[in-house]
A and B are shown apart, each in its own frame.
Chain A
């Protein structure tokens, strides 16, 4: 072998493997008629409580399962299971996000044949989960009032990849300088197609409109 430097063409996307697995997840869920929703937000924005409220609204007609991802704990899955909902806990072991392979493991642990919807509660983080396709049909994010209306400016990718923005904890609006109109405008500037709902998972206010939207999306998927 010579000591001459050679140039090798690689031309490879680093995330091609994850994209392929994510596509397999979507094909599996389409064939098995289970709607997969990826819920993302910062820690403490109310993901678990939002999931419980949402399921409460839609439980009459749809069967739900939940996949909880946490770096190292199972308190969320226990809370979900305590409400009689199928739950699986994924410990990411330090990883800041879920990828499509981890989602596949979680799906294997659920009885998908008896579920119409699986909600993934992603790791609490507005940065990393935005970069990894989980294989979900819809990406939903929560921005809660105490976090501030400037978050679209700080975490633009998360707002760009989400189909839905839930502005949660609107019961705090009176105590806060959060500007709902400004948050809406900033989100729409990054993502003109984003659906926005204002909710309080605590009081239940606004959850009906969001749940109705989700219910129609799920039924469209199941009938499609």
Chain B
């Protein structure tokens, strides 16, 4: 639901790096997005296409990789990956503990970009 603001931030970072590196055209942007983020990939691309018109990033493809949700068992400390749909329903594989703290699976990170 907040794709627009996130996409504006992505474009801002991309254009800053493009200016620093004398870029004519941005071809592809590699993004890592936490599995817990409710953003829809297609909508990020739509917003990006709209916002980037007339900039060197116009037409760039967003290659989005989802980073997994990792939780830590509050009882034994074991960390493990969880599917989004299983959150709140899984137990620790070692001790069967059900109190799990979120370690990672949030956020938006630009890894790198392919440019001309």
Q: Which residues of A contact B (CB under 8 A)?
A: 1, 3-15, 17, 95-97, 99, 125, 127-128, 131-132, 152-153, 156-157, 159-160, 185-186, 188-193
Contact = CB atoms under 8 A, between A and B. Distances in A.
Nearest to B108: A14
B111 A10 contact: yes
A7 B99 contact: no
Interface residues of B, number: 38
Nearest to A152: B88
Given A5-B116, A7-B112, 19 more contacts: A1-B22, A5-B27, A6-B21, A6-B116, A8-B112, A8-B113, A9-B111, A9-B112, A10-B110, A12-B13, A12-B110, A14-B108, A97-B2, A128-B2, A131-B106, A153-B88, A157-B106, A188-B99, A189-B89
B101 A191 contact: yes
Contacts of A157: 36-38, 106
Contacts of A190: 87-88, 100, 102
B13 to A, nearest CB: 5
Nearest to A129: B2
Secondary structure class of chain A's binding surface, majority of residues: mixed
Contacts of A97: 2
B88 A127 contact: no
B23 interface: yes
Contacts of B89: 153, 189
A14 B88 contact: no
A99 B14 CA distance: 21
Nearest to A1: B24
A50 to B, nearest CB: 23
Contact of B115 (A8, A125, A131, A189): A8
Q: Which 8 A-B residue pairs are closest in the complex by CB-CB distance?
A: A192-B99, A14-B108, A10-B110, A192-B74, A156-B87, A128-B2, A160-B102, A14-B9
A7 B100 contact: no
Contacts of B13: 10, 12, 14
B19 to A, nearest CB: 11
A159 B102 CA distance: 10
